[in-house]
């Protein structure tokens, strides 16, 4: 029941307020409440605090594992049976990534994506393929591809069976949507990344995205801008778009009354992303088709990426706000 998921989301969000060293991380707390709720896990404040200690005791004060990445990394570690060992493994992967990329905060998140596949793939090969994927993205969209796309490159490297075919599909999706009134840019590129993770013909996947976008706009609850990747997830996991739009609007009006989810503290765009993610998971769980297991696998693969998309969006918004404030004071 979606009501149970929303209840757990609120509970997890409130519990994360008790995690240390996270002052001013309101949006990141909501994102990580979603991270846990997507996996039907309750916040364990004591364990997350322990994981924060692990990170701080094994990284410098200027480390990329601090700052915006601290809470997300600690929450992900808290879901592991041996957080110390897991953090060490993530640090090793992070070190391997630094051999192929300039050091930046997104390598921390990419390392965590790759870590989830450590038992099923050759880590060194994934790291190499992450660089290959990033280079292809850069080749196709030179001015759109930046450091924040390293996370998408890592996700593609861990899930694609054929990088060349994945990028053909990705570019086809990008061009189809661009020709159907979706604005060219980084958000559309991120949407095409998500669509490439799902099976099916590019045109069929894009038709679903176009239809859901129209329905959501008719209901005045569009998933646009940096929400576009979530639009892709929703379009390919929900069957009844009218019900999805109605539920999204209804839950939004209810959730915004909860502490930490209001328009001032969180904003409608991020709130819609959170709700859409939970509705999509609910739709998959209610599916009785043969593709249910594949859908669950695909969505679990990108659940961390959803949180990362939202974290990047929140960090970008915070940076933009700071820049605007600085400009206005001059």
* pTM for the model: 0.89
pLDDT level of residue 311 (50, 70, 90 thresholds): low
**What tens digit of pLDDT does each residue of 32-41 get?**
999 899 888 9
- Average pLDDT for 206-219: 98
pLDDT of 130 strictly over 70: yes
Q: Is residue 171 part of a domain?
A: yes
Burial of 256 (0-12, 13-18, 19+ CB in 10 A): middle
- Average pLDDT for 268-296: 76
pLDDT of 52 strictly over 80: yes
pLDDT of 301 strictly over 80: no
pLDDT of 326 strictly over 60: no
Q: Is residue 224 part of a domain?
A: yes
pLDDT of 265 strictly over 90: no
Least confident of 10-14, 118-122, 274-278: 118-122
pLDDT level of residue 45 (50, 70, 90 thresholds): very high
Contact 11, 38 (CB under 8 A): no
Separation CA 39–CA 96 (nearest Å): 28
pLDDT: which is higher, 248 or 282: 248
pLDDT level of residue 285 (50, 70, 90 thresholds): confident
pLDDT of 296 strictly over 80: no
Q: Is residue 149 part of a domain?
A: no
Question: Which tokens sit at 239?
Answer: 């069957």
Tally the domains of the chain.
1
Angle, alpha carbons 262-189-111 (nearest 5°): 75
Domain that includes residue 304, residue range: 160-308
pLDDT: which is higher, 120 or 180: 180
Contact 108, 73 (CB under 8 A): yes
Q: Which residue has the tokens 């960090």?
A: 315
Question: Which tokens sit at 295?
Answer: 């859908």
pLDDT of 328 strictly over 60: no
């Amino acid at each position: 029941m979606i009501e149970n998921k929303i209840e757990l989301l609120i509970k997890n969000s409130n519990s994360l307020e008790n995690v240390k060293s996270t002052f001013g991380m309101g949006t990141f707390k909501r994102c990580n409440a979603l991270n846990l709720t997507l996996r039907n896990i309750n916040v364990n404040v004591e364990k997350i605090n322990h994981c924060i200690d692990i990170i701080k005791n094994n990284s410098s004060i200027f480390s990329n594992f601090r700052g915006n990445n601290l809470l997300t990394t600690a929450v992900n570690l808290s879901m592991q049976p041996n957080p110390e060992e897991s953090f060490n493994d993530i640090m090793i992967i992070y070190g391997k990534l630094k051999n192929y990329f300039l050091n930046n905060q997104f390598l921390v998140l990419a390392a965590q994506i790759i870590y989830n596949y450590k038992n099923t793939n050759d880590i060194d090969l994934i790291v190499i393929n992450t660089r290959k994927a990033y280079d292809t993205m850069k080749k196709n969209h030179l001015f759109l591809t930046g450091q924040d796309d390293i996370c998408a490159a890592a996700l593609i490297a861990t899930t694609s069976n054929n990088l060349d075919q994945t990028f053909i599909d990705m570019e086809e999706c990008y061009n189809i949507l661009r020709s159907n009134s979706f604005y060219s840019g980084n958000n559309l590129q991120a949407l095409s990344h998500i669509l490439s993770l799902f099976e099916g013909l590019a045109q069929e996947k894009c038709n679903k995205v176009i239809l859901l976008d129209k329905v959501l706009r008719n209901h005045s609850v569009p998933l646009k801008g940096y929400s576009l990747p979530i639009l892709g997830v929703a379009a390919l996991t929900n069957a009844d778009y009218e019900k999805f739009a109605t539920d999204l609007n209804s839950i939004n009006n209810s959730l915004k009354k909860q502490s930490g989810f209001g328009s001032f503290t969180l904003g409608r765009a991020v709130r819609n992303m959170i709700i859409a993610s939970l509705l999509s998971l609910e739709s998959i769980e209610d599916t009785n088709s043969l593709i249910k297991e594949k859908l669950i696998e695909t969505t679990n693969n990108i659940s961390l990426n959803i949180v990362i998309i939202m974290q990047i969006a929140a960090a970008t918004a915070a940076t933009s706000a700071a820049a605007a404030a600085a400009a206005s004071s001059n």
